[in-house]
Amino acid sequence: MIPEKRIIRRIQSGGCAIHCQDCSISQLCIPFTLNEHELDQLDNIIERKKPIQKGQTLFKAGDELKSLYAIRSGTIKSYTITEQGDEQITGFHLAGDLVGFDAIGSGHHPSFAQALENLNGM
């Protein structure tokens, strides 16, 4: 039997690299399903180490996709505005999440994202 040749994938995270083969949830992770070219493209648009202040908006509905945000600590809420002008929360994003995936298909964000606390080392 010929052993299967595995490609070792990694996502850069600040000063360290986390290898997918060492991650306990790698098969649940979106990058696990990507080929090397797609993984490189994803890695190039992830925003890291950008401090975000509490209440700051990361992106607004209709904004062009410029980057995804890798949350290292803190919480971000995503929301839309109803026809009546009310805020409707559509999700909370915690440490380890990537925010902004909803814009990949169209290239524009369908919702808003706002920091609920100061986020350092994003």
Q: Give the domains, in start order, of the chain with CATH numbers.
A: 1-47 (no CATH), 49-122 (2.60.120.10)
Asked if 11 and 43 touch (Cβ cutoff 8 Å), the reply is yes
pLDDT in tens, 16-33: 445 555 555 556 566 667
pLDDT at 52: 87
Which strand (E) or helix (H) includes residue 37?
helix 36-45
Average pLDDT over residues 111-122: 85
Task: Please report which confidence band the pLDDT of residue 12 belongs to, taking 50, 70 and 90 as the band edges.
Answer: very low
How far apart CA 81 and CA 90 sit, in angstroms, is: 10
DSSP class of 14: T
Q: Which residues contact 103 (CB under 8 A, 6 or more apart)?
A: 59, 63, 65, 109, 110
Q: Which tops the pLDDT comparison, 51 or 99?
A: 99
Strands (E), 1-122: 10-13, 16-19, 46-47, 57-59, 68-70, 76-81, 87-93, 98-99, 112-115
Mapped onto helix, strand or coil, the DSSP state of residue 107 is: coil
pLDDT at 3: 47
Task: Please report which confidence band the pLDDT of residue 13 belongs to, taking 50, 70 and 90 as the band edges.
Answer: very low
pLDDT averaged over the chain? 77
How far apart CA 84 and CA 117 sit, in angstroms, is: 27
The pTM of this model reads: 0.64
Mapped onto helix, strand or coil, the DSSP state of residue 9 is: coil
Task: Please report which confidence band the pLDDT of residue 82 belongs to, taking 50, 70 and 90 as the band edges.
Answer: very high
Average pLDDT over residues 71-78: 88
